[in-house]
Amino acid sequence: MRDRRYDILFEPVRIGPVTAPNRFYQVPHCTGMGHRYPRAEARLRGIKAEGGWGVVSTQETEIHPTSDLTPANEGRLWEASDIPAMRLMTDAVHEHGSLAAVQLVHNGLHSSNRYSRCTPLAPSSAIIISDDPVQARAMDTSDIARFRRWHADAALRAKAAGFDIVYVYAGHDMSLLQHFLLERHNHRSDEYGGSFENRLRLFREVIADTREAVGNTCAIAVRLAVDELLGAEGIRHDVEARDIIEALADEPDLWDVNLSDWSNDSQSSRFSVEGFQEPYTRFVKSVTSKPVVGVGRYTSPDAMVRVIGKGILDFIGAARPSIADPFLPKKIEAGRIEDIRECIGCNICVSGDNTNVPMRCTQNPTIGEEWRRNWHPEIIPTLKSPESHLIVGGGPAGLEAARALTQRGGDVVLADARSEWGGRVTQESRLPGLAEWARVRDHRLWQLQQVQNAELYLESRLTAADILEYGIANIAIATGAVWRDDGVGRVHRKPLPFLVKEKILTPDDLMGDGVDAIGSDGSVVIFDDDRFYMASVLAEHVVSAGHKVTFVTPSPVVAPWSDNTLEQQRIQKRLIELGVEIVPSNQLAGMSHDSLTLACTYSGRTREIACGQLVLVTSRAPRDTLWHELHALQAERKEAGIKSVTRIGDCLAPGLIAAACYSGHLYARAAGETCAAAPLREDMANLE
């Protein structure tokens, strides 16, 4: 039963001519699916509506070929032939009584038009925002008139596709309308440039055009960046944003407000806390009578009630929390608070869009697989036979495999050699900024503690002989991986013979013994060939203990893959602020007791730096000895009644925590299936 404190979250809210059934609003967010994978897109959004989100939005939806975001997989309403794909989504959302919203976008300076080959358009002649060697041309008044018509036509197509809410978008520094608002992009001297009122003119006109196009059947939403965290160089919440909203206060039916650019709007938990946008968005309701939605990675219903009760927002906007748990609203409604899969703010979901593939989620292994594999986040078919499973290893893969198997009705024994659950999740969550990652462990462990068909054993190191003796039918080896101490990684593909072993540490050493593993003789050098988060987090950890740190990487920048999770600039900035010396574009060439020889990755030129301790963050090796031992005992396994022995997670192939959770979930889904169905291929579906 729902806690009465949360009743306010389930009140219907009027948005112009339509009514949202509750205050849960899935704001526009990318999925990596869009116009190329419309069935997968529709199924994902439909499940969110099933999970109780009162409004479910698309991602950016391009209105015209001059706003072509290829290779990104966004929505598309260029022409009438795009309507059927979009209607798949609205039908899926409406099936569960939710409203469907579309974020119409012309990206202006953010579009390179790689597919359409159209010349980009902008308020003024300028090089585009991305790295493509392309410049946009300044729009003349006839271009502006055409743009207004394109937007109105797209709004009509959106209405025909069944959308209830149509967006006018000016956010994330990705919108032509925002570019007209900003003095740094708009250098015009005509009626669309110069003064504030002139720069606002096109925004005001497009809102009116959109309303005229859709009539009184669709609501008009405006998405506006209220602060760019650029000071006087950008929009500020207490200056320009307030002026914009005051000038247009009641013209749209809803204000969707956030930070710009995307890296500010979707800050990871490493750099922000729940509700981090409130200082910038709390003013909006004081200057408009229309409902307001905002975001802040809200996962706690108490925080949601506080935001609504204090009049900060009318809707709880969410992207990432709705990905981690599409059924978050239904769980609050049913009084199942502990059952929520809380977002950990790792931004692995974001990386899907940034690498142009369907999204993934650390907490929710079913995301992106709703159509492709027919996976539901809350429903798993019951096992066809009651065979038992022994899972060796209680890290993310083992915990997820056990959780999903017990949900299917299987009997599971989960054993771990350590004195605590979670494996790498527990270790990494103790590092700076990663505490919320422990939710991966806590959610699954709580689920397992609620059921009768799971036996959990810590401090239980199992041998091959033990497993044969138990005779449990199905064995999953989830024993994880270890960080290598021989230098093998992306640049150095063979072990480095010159390493001084007694001076080498790995992340396992620093996570196991903490900074006490570091000696007192000289500075610490961290060599990062992993190129994601681990090395930079360890640098913070070591610096906090008072050690001097030099960060060496073959990459031109620190943690380059973290650009996909919107963290790279923040990571590099933090290391600089902490006094870490960064040595990019160098690899290892030699080592003595107190120094390290580096070689430039481009020229090969060498240099020496002081090194009292070298921390290698390069790659990991599977901890798969137990699997190999069992694999060699084919006859003994058969005699013991063991039918299958399977590696999962990092034991199979070291990767992200998200990959480990997915591996464990896949194992549980495949249990008992003699011939699992192949994933559907949407790129082939149109040929049938």
376 annotated active-site:
no
Q: Contact at 8 Å (CB) between 165 and 223?
A: no
Nearest Cα to Cα of residue 323 among 10, 668, 53, 11: 53
Extract the runs of DSSP E, i.e. beta strands, from 529-605.
549-552, 581-583, 586-591, 595-600
209 vs 193: CA distance, rounded Å: 20
Show Cβ contacts of residue 14 under 8 Å, excluding neighbours closer than 6 positions.
20, 291
CA atoms within 13 A on the CB side of 317: 26
Catalytic residue among 227, 256, 265, 529: 265
Structural contact between residues 583 and 575, judged by C-beta atoms closer than 8 angstroms:
no
Q: How far apart are CA 649 and CA 656, in angstroms?
A: 9
Distances (CA, A) of 335 to 332, 377, 573, 626, 652: 5, 18, 42, 42, 38
C-alpha span between 295 and 257 (Å, rounded): 8
Q: Where are the beta strands (DSSP E) in 153-297?
A: 165-170, 219-227, 254-259, 292-294
What H or E segment, with its residue span, contains residue 89? helix 83-94
From the candidates 167, 169, 192, 667, which is the catalytic residue? 169
The pair of three-digit structure tokens given for residue 10, joined into one six-digit string: 């389930």
Q: What are the CA-CA distances from residue 95 to residues 90, 199, 414, 641 (Å)?
A: 8, 41, 40, 47
Across 206-283, the runs of DSSP E, i.e. the strands, are 219-227, 254-259
**Among 6, 30, 35, 209, which one carries the catalytic annotation?**
30
Phi (first) and psi of residue 113, to 5 degrees: 55, 50
DSSP 388-444: -EEEE--SHHHHHHHHHHHHTT--EEEE-SSSSS-THHHHHTTSTT-GGGGHHHHHH
- Residues 503, 523: contact at Cβ < 8 Å? no
Residue 315's closest CA among 276, 339, 281? 281
The verdict on whether 662 is a catalytic residue reads no
Q: Measure the CA angle with vertex 599, ends 595 and 603; round to 5°.
A: 155
Asked about 298 being catalytic, the answer comes back as: no
- The answer for residues whose C-beta is within 8 angstroms of residue 573's C-beta and 6 or more apart is none
* Separation of alpha carbons 390 and 628, rounded Å: 17
**Active-site entry in 64, 94, 151, 172:** 172
**265 classed as catalytic:** yes
Tokens 């000071």, residue? 231
CA nearest 24: which of 255, 362, 453, 326? 326
DSSP letter at 367 equals: T
Token digits of residue 218: 């669709």
C-alpha pair distances (Å), 451 with each of 74, 163, 190, 405: 41, 42, 69, 11
How long is the chain?
688
The Cα–Cα gap between 571 and 590 comes to: 28
Residue 484 — φ and ψ, nearest 5°? -75, 150
Which residue numbers are catalytic? 30, 169, 172, 265
